[in-house]
C-alpha cells in the first residue's frame, strides 16, 4: 500500500547525491537520510537499488512527451520503492519530506539472494503493490473528484495522520499540483473540492498544507470506501 505522488516542476535540485550515510539500522543494511527536495533517482537512471522507506515522504512521477504528468505514487513509511523492470528506472523519485530509507542492492530480490528473509519481504511488498495499484485503477477510472479527494485524505489520515480527540490532522507534504496529478484532476478541481469539504464542515484547513479532519465518518462516506 502506497500513495502515488504527482510530479512537481523540479528545477535543478539542490544536490541529487547529497545523501548522508547513517548508522546501519536493521539487518545490517545501510540506512540513508535524504534531504527534502533531493532526487533519489530519475527516469532512465540505472536501477541499482531498492529502497525501503523508514520515515519521510517521497513522490514517484512519470511524464509523457506532451508534458502531461502522472504522479504514480506517494511513498510513505513502510513502502518499498525502486522495483526494477529491465535495466533502468521508469519513474522519477523525489523527496517531499526528508526521509530515511534502507537501501538494498537490486539483487536482494533475486532467486539466490543471500538474505532470504529480506528477499521474501521485498517480494511481498512487490505483490502488495500490484494489489494496491489495482485499487488505484478504480480510483482513477471510476471515482468522482469528491470521492477521489476524500479517499486520498482517508488514506493519508490512516497512514500519517495524528489523532486529536475526534479529529485527525494531516500534514500534506505535497502541493496541490501533486495531488491533482496523482488523482487525475486539475489543481483547480482539487482546490474546489477541498473547499467543498471545508464548506460541509468535514475538514478544515489550518494552513494550506495542514488538513484537520473534523468528521472522519463523513469523510469516509464521501470516499465511498468499499
Partner DNA sequence: AATGTGCCCTGACACAAATCAAGGGAATCC
Partner DNA sequence: GGATTCCCTTGATTTGTGTCAGGGCACATT
Q: Enumerate binding residues for a copy of itself (CB under 8 A).
A: 4, 62, 64-66, 68, 70, 72, 83-86, 90-91, 109-113, 116, 119-120, 123, 126-131, 133-138, 140-142, 183-184, 224, 226
Considering beta carbons, is residue 90 or 159 the nearer one to a copy of itself?
90
**Residue 226 binding: pick among DNA, a copy of itself, none (C-beta 5-8 Å cut-off by kind):** a copy of itself
Determine phi and psi for 4, rounding to 5 degrees: -70, 160
- Point out which span in 23-31, 35-43, 127-135, 183-191 binds DNA (CB under 7 A): 183-191
Determine if 185 is a binding residue for DNA (CB under 7 A).
yes
DSSP 124-156: HHHHHHHHHHHHHHHHHHH--HHHHHHHHHHHH
Taking each helix axis from N to C terminus, what angle separates 145-160 and 176-183, rounded to the nearest 10 degrees?
110
Considering beta carbons, is residue 92 or 168 the nearer one to a copy of itself?
92
CA 80 to chain centre: 10
Residues 100 and 79: their CA atoms lie apart, in Å, by: 12
Which 8-state DSSP code applies to residue 173? -
As measured in angstroms, the least distance from the Cβ of 101 to a copy of itself is 18
Considering beta carbons, is residue 70 or 102 the nearer one to a copy of itself?
70
Considering beta carbons, is residue 151 or 168 the nearer one to a copy of itself?
151
* Residues 5-24 within binding reach of DNA (CB under 7 A): 8-9
DSSP-derived 3-state class of residue 117: helix
**Residue 175 binding: pick among DNA, a copy of itself, none (C-beta 5-8 Å cut-off by kind):** DNA
Of the candidates 141, 140, 151, 219, the one whose C-alpha atom is nearest the C-alpha of residue 181 is 140
Amino acid at each position: 500500500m502506497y500513495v502515488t505522488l504527482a510530479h512537481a516542476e523540479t528545477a535543478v535540485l539542490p544536490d541529487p547525491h547529497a545523501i548522508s550515510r547513517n548508522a546501519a539500522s536493521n539487518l545490517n543494511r545501510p540506512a540513508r537520510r535524504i534531504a527534502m527536495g533531493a532526487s533519489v533517482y530519475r527516469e532512465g537512471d540505472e536501477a541499482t537499488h531498492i529502497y525501503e522507506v523508514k520515515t519521510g515522504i517521497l513522490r514517484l512521477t512519470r511524464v509523457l512527451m506532451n508534458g502531461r504528468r502522472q504522479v504514480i505514487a506517494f511513498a510513505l513509511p513502510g513502502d518499498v520503492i525502486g522495483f526494477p523492470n529491465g535495466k533502468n528506472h521508469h519513474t522519477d523519485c523525489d523527496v517531499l519530506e526528508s526521509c530515511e530509507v534502507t537501501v538494498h542492492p537490486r539483487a536482494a530480490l533475486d532467486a539466490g539472494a543471500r538474505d532470504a528473509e529480506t528477499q521474501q519481504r521485498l517480494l511481498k511488498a512487490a505483490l502488495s503493490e500490484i494489489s494496491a495499484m489495482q485499487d488505484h485503477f478504480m480510483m482513477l477510472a471510476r471515482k468522482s473528484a469528491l470521492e477521489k479527494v476524500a479517499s486520498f485524505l482517508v488514506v493519508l489520515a490512516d497512514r500519517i495522520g495524528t489523532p486529536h480527540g475526534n479529529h485527525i490532522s494531516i500534514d500534506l507534504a505535497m502541493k496541490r499540483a501533486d495531488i491533482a496529478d496523482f488523482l487525475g484532476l486539475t489543481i483547480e478541481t482539487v482546490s474546489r473540492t477541498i473547499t467543498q469539504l471545508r464548506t460541509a464542515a468535514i475538514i478544515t484547513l489550518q494552513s494550506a498544507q495542514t488538513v484537520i479532519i473534523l468528521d472522519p465518518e463523513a469523510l469516509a462516506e464521501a470516499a465511498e470506501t468499499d
